[in-house]
Amino acid sequence: MSAHDRTLFAGVDIGGTTTQVVLCDDGLTVLDRAETTTPAARGGQAMVDAALGALAPLLRRVPGRLAGAGVGAAGVVDSAAGRILVASDSFRGWAGFPVGAAVADALGVPAYLDNDVNAFLRGEVSAGAVRGERDVLGIALGTGVGGAVWTGGRLFAGPHGAAGEIGHIPGFGDLACTCGGRGHLETLASGRSIAARYADRTGHRLTAREVADAAAHGDEDALAVYRAAGAGLARAVVMTAGLVDITTVVIGGGVSRAWHLLEPAVLARLAEEPPVSGHPVRLVRAGLGTDAVPVGAAALARMGTTSAEDARPAVSAAVREP
């Protein structure tokens, strides 16, 4: 088969500041990639247009036939309708926007939408650090804390698309969470919270990365903040293992770059409070880096075009919700 005959899948990650796009073959090898600034303040159509603008040169450069496109987006999504249901205040005109229809209309192929953390986990299971595993918890540590569950060899999103949202499990203290709740895991383990907890202890305002640098140089307050974050993550892992018997946890996101600071506390707490099954849970760093979400989105598109039974419903240019 010539390069011009090969099947291609596009994957898009629309983040709060950056949009990343990849073009993959049917084995999910990334053939080309690009990124652009997300115009989050300009509305849903502008964000989709920016993604399509970044994708267009890839489609011109890479020979082949585009069969489908997937999009991973932050927030609560309705995958069946291809719409964003709930988005943070940093996105204007995003909630309610028909992402799937806009992408399908522009590209003329079926388009699929999923939450970005679901896409992250799908990417790592399909082509990354936990490739081929059947029971995995994905944790994304960034500005917030996101989670997703892969069980029995497929993503479990739940009836409301909220399965795996470990960042908003209560019982981790009494600090206010950005969602309006209190004592959620996100108040311990997100980049925003690591910075805030360090400021509370010391009066100095640093970024999470700067707190990690301070911890690496022996700053006891910084080390204490990361120990608390690691212990919280371990509790969330044990809870998830007790509920759905996961065997592996894959950790990604910007805060995971400080895994050397988090891991000792995670392992110590897991040793003290192991899963009820008695079987250890394997902890793995994500392997795809910034490609994880767009590759996961491309994997969703691949699955949708080759296995209608398992795929989330697509939105096509010909048939879509009004």
Q: Which residues are within 8 A (CB) of 89 and not within 5 positions of it... i.e. 6 or more apart?
A: none
Residue 317: which pLDDT band, with cuts at 50, 70 and 90?
low
Is the confidence at residue 156, as pLDDT, over 80? yes
Provide the residue range defining the domain that includes 113.
3-120+290-306
Q: What is the mean pLDDT of residues 128-143?
A: 96
Q: In terms of domains, do 294 and 280 share one?
A: no
User: pLDDT by residue (tens digit) across 67-108?
Assistant: 999 999 988 889 999 999 988 878 999 999 999 999 999 999
Q: Give the total residue count for the chain.
A: 322
DSSP helix/strand/coil, 314:
coil
In Å, what is the CA distance from 114 to each residue of 23, 117, 141, 182? 17, 8, 18, 27
Are residue 299 and residue 221 in the same domain, yes or no? no
CATH code, 72: 3.30.420.40
Backbone phi, psi, residue 100, to 5°: -60, -45
Q: What is the predicted pLDDT for the residue at 62?
A: 97
8-state DSSP, 131: T
Give 125's contacts (C-beta < 8 A, 6+ positions apart).
131, 132, 133, 136, 150
Strands 65-73 and 76-78: unpaired
Whether residues 266 and 294 share a domain: the answer is no
Backbone conformation region of residue 213, classed left if phi is above 0, alpha if psi is from -120 to 50, else beta: alpha
Q: Does residue 294 sit within a domain? A: yes
Q: Are residues 65 and 139 in the same domain?
A: no
> Which of 263, 200, 195, 196 has the alpha carbon at shortest distance from 227?
263
User: What is the rounded distance in angstroms from the CA atom of residue 57 to the CA atom of residue 43?
Assistant: 23
Same domain, 152 and 281: yes
> Which H helix or E strand runs over 290?
none
For the CA atoms of 314, 167, 265, 276, the dihedral, rounded to the nearest 10 degrees, stands at -80
SS3 138: strand
Number of domains in the chain: 2
Whether 141 contacts 315, CB under 8 Å: no
pLDDT tens across 242-274, in order?
999 999 999 999 999 999 999 999 999 999 999
Instruction: State residue 309's pLDDT score.
Output: 40
Same structural domain, 140 and 279: yes
216 with 139, same domain? yes
Q: Is 252 helix (H, G, I), strand (E, B) or coil?
A: strand
Gap between the Cα atoms of 29 and 117, Å rounded: 20
At 322, the pLDDT band (50, 70, 90 cuts) reads very low
Residues 83, 178, single domain; the answer is no
- The answer on 111 and 53 residing in a single domain is yes
Query: In the prediction, which pLDDT does 319 show?
Result: 42
| Per-residue model confidence (pLDDT) at position 316 | 62
Report pLDDT for 313.
54
- The lowest-confidence range among 80-89, 185-194, 221-230 is 80-89
What sections of 95-190 are H helices per DSSP? Answer: 99-107, 116-127, 186-189
Same-domain pairing of 295 and 280: no
- Cβ(142)–Cβ(242) below 8 Å: no
